[in-house]
Amino acid sequence: MVPAKYYFDSTDEDPVQLKYMKRGAKVDAKKQRKEAAKKRKRERLDPDKAQTALDIQLDQAKKKQRLKDGQAAAQPVSNEGAEQDDRPGPSALRFDVPTGAEPPADELRQRLHQRIEEMRTQRKADEERKARAKAAKEWRQQASSRAKQPSKQRRKRSAGSEEEQAEQRAAKKAKQAAAEDALVDDGKLSFGRVELGTEGGRRGAQKKHKPGKAELLETAKAKQDTIKALEGTKEGRVAVEQDAWKAAMARARGERVLDDPKLLSRSLKKEQKMKKKKAEAWKERKDLQRQNAKVKQKKRTENLKARVDTKLQNKKDKREKKLMRAGFEGRRDSFIGSES
């Protein structure tokens, strides 16, 4: 229900024009206006003097009727007045405004307290919601910190395990190396590695220099001469057998056996011929490079000389052009009036 103050004028008197009053009257009028405003405010806030829209409407109608009756008594009755009386006056106007008794002050206070409690409950709910959100945030932070700590510990453990694994691998290699050596257990000789011949050497031995074909040819020739010298003797047969076994074992290991003097000499000649051919090709290439370099250097020198000559000629042409005078015959070796 809309209160009556929003659509009824509460001031019955005409507004006082303070600017047309004297100073004393103006002060009194202001004072009276303030007191009247305070009185209206107290009456408006007093629940016992509260009026409904219908009461205010009836009061205004009565005031207008009294004003009209006073004016009618002061003026003579005329036809125009009769005609005006026939028209419905302001008192005859009625508004179809929904009316009802205003609730008492106790009910209004109860409503106010109820509204305050509702707002307080809503505020508490908001605070509880914020508290729950804060608690959830703290829980997430703690969970993330707990999740980070095991990962750090796992990294530490993994680093330690890597070191342990490296130590284990080193120990395993040492055991394997020890197992490869000859071990005597319960009076029995066991070999971890069988060596064939005397040239194999042990693991970790320094790698021998690979002999060239010339050295191999000399060795093969010397061996062949030795075998020929011991031919028909027991020592010669033993030497031939040992040499055959040695060559067979080397071929079994996948090594190339170069012990034939004929093949070695043929291969050596072929290699020397190839080297000579490559040396000649290299020499031709170097000669061609030197020749090309000389040609390029000569061309560069000629270009530089031509450039310098061109610059000098351009300077001379510019100088001749500056010495020429318009209307004269040009530059001469002697003065114009002198006989040449």
- Using one digit for the tens of pLDDT, what is the confidence trace for 113-161? 888 888 888 888 888 888 888 889 999 888 888 887 766 666 666 666 6
* 108 and 59 assigned to the same domain: no
* 127 and 175 assigned to the same domain: yes
Residue type, 330: G
Q: Residue 12: is its pLDDT beyond 60?
A: no
The count of domains in the chain is: 2
Does residue 156 come out as left (phi exceeding 0), alpha (psi in the -120 to 50 range) or beta? Answer: alpha
269-295 pLDDT, tens digit per residue, is: 899 999 999 999 999 999 999 999 999
Q: Quickly count: other Cβ atoms within 10 Å of residue 280's Cβ.
A: 10
Span 330-339, average pLDDT: 59
Please answer whether residues 16 and 33 qualify as being in contact, where contact means their C-beta atoms are separated by less than 8 angstroms. Answer: yes
Looking at residue 190, what DSSP letter applies? Answer: E
Among 136, 139, 292, 267, smallest CA distance to 212 is for 267
Q: Please tell me the predicted confidence (pLDDT) of residue 292.
A: 96
* 121 and 38 assigned to the same domain: no
Task: Look at residues 124, 145, 179 and tell me which one is the last residue of a structural domain.
Answer: 179
* 95 and 32 assigned to the same domain: yes
- Confidence label for 323 from pLDDT (cuts 50, 70 and 90): low
100-116 pLDDT, tens digit per residue, is: 567 788 888 888 888 88
* 126 within a domain of the structure (yes/no): yes
* 65 within a domain of the structure (yes/no): yes
* 152 and 94 assigned to the same domain: no
Residue type, 267: S
Residue type, 263: L
Q: Please tell me the predicted confidence (pLDDT) of residue 79.
A: 47
* 250 within a domain of the structure (yes/no): no
* 281 within a domain of the structure (yes/no): no
Q: Which domain holds residue 21?
A: 4-75+89-99
* 226 within a domain of the structure (yes/no): no
Span 283-309, average pLDDT: 96
The pTM is what?
Answer: 0.28
Distance between CA atoms of residues 278 and 270, nearest Å: 12
* 21 and 94 assigned to the same domain: yes
26-60 pLDDT, tens digit per residue, is: 899 999 999 999 998 888 888 777 777 888 888 88
* 202 within a domain of the structure (yes/no): no
DSSP 245-294: HHHHHHHHTT------HHHHHHHHHHHHHHHHHHHHHHHHHHHHHHHHHH
Coil, strand, or helix at residue 318? helix
Please answer whether residues 180 and 204 qualify as being in contact, where contact means their C-beta atoms are separated by less than 8 angstroms. Answer: no
Rg (CA), the chain: 67
Higher pLDDT residue, 285 or 226? 285
Q: Please tell me the predicted confidence (pLDDT) of residue 85.
A: 47
172-215 pLDDT, tens digit per residue, is: 877 776 665 544 444 455 555 555 555 544 555 566 677 787 88
* 123 and 147 assigned to the same domain: yes
Instruction: Return the top range by mean pLDDT from 62-66, 196-200, 286-290, 326-330.
Output: 286-290
Mean pLDDT taken over the chain:
76
* 14 within a domain of the structure (yes/no): yes
